[in-house]
Amino acid sequence: MFALRTTLAATAIACVTLNGFAIAGDMKHGEQAGHSMDKMDMVEHQAGDLMLKAPFARATLPNQPVAGAFLTITNMGEDDDVLISVSTPVAERGEVHEMAMEGDTMKMRPLADGLVIPAGETVELKPGGYHLMFMKLQEPLVEGEMVEATLEFQNAGSVTLPFSIQGKSAKAMDHSGHGS
Ligand SMILES: [Cu+2]
């Protein structure tokens, strides 16, 4: 089980910044399979049957304790896989979160059993939906830099990827819908 030591308030602050953001046309890069770590705008990795596309994390304010991170995962295999966990050197731990309605409000919560990536399907981790969350950041995430994170899959095993750190969208400061 996940130990939620970060306060709900702090967690909620980070999550609202995830709204209203769009990946700006990067999806057409990196059509070929395999790693191409030499390109900074590389956006596609293959790990076993999984294609991992467009990993990015959100830049944070100096005292912001948590950061959201996102990518798109396609399972080209014939068996479901499960994203079990995430970790990164810049945070005490990582979690896999979902957004879910509780009464009238949308809240995020850890996926205790991981995130299923069904065979033949694509699961998009994106602002307002499934996401990775880096908890207890040891340093701010600076726009334009990269941060590494390791995803642990049930079948594909562990995959370390660079996440490009992207800035906040100016219209993302809507604090509604994420109260504790
Ligand atoms: Cu979250």
Question: What type of residue is 122?
Answer: T
CA max distance for the chain: 47
What is the whole-number distance in angstroms between the Cα of residue 116 and the centre of ligand 1?
A: 17
- pLDDT tens, 136-151? 999 999 999 999 999 9
pLDDT for the residue numbered 155 = 97
For 113, half-sphere exposure in the C-beta direction (CA atoms, 13 angstrom radius) is 3
What is the whole-number distance in angstroms between the Cα of residue 66 and the centre of ligand 1?
A: 8
DSSP assigned state of 21: -
Question: What type of residue is 70?
Answer: F
DSSP E strands, 78-156:
81-87, 91-102, 105-110, 115-117, 122-125, 131-137, 146-153
What is the whole-number distance in angstroms between the Cα of residue 40 and the centre of ligand 1?
A: 26
Mean pLDDT by groups of 10 residues along the chain of 180 residues? 38 35 36 41 83 96 94 98 98 96 92 96 96 96 96 97 83 38
What is the whole-number distance in angstroms between the Cα of residue 28 and the centre of ligand 1?
A: 27
What is the whole-number distance in angstroms between the Cα of residue 32 and the centre of ligand 1?
A: 31
| Token digits of residue 77 | 């295999």
Q: Which residues contact 79 (CB under 8 A, 6 or more apart)?
A: 49, 119, 155
- pLDDT tens, 19-41? 333 333 333 333 333 444 444 44
User: Which residues have CB atoms below 5 A from the ion given as ligand 1?
Assistant: 15, 97, 108, 133
Domain 8-27+43-166 has CATH 1.10.3370.10: no
What is the whole-number distance in angstroms between the Cα of residue 111 and the centre of ligand 1?
A: 10
- Nearest alpha-carbon partner for 83 in 152, 143, 150: 152
What is the whole-number distance in angstroms between the Cα of residue 11 and the centre of ligand 1?
A: 7
What is the whole-number distance in angstroms between the Cα of residue 38 and the centre of ligand 1?
A: 30
What is the whole-number distance in angstroms between the Cα of residue 107 and the centre of ligand 1?
A: 8
What is the whole-number distance in angstroms between the Cα of residue 132 and the centre of ligand 1?
A: 7
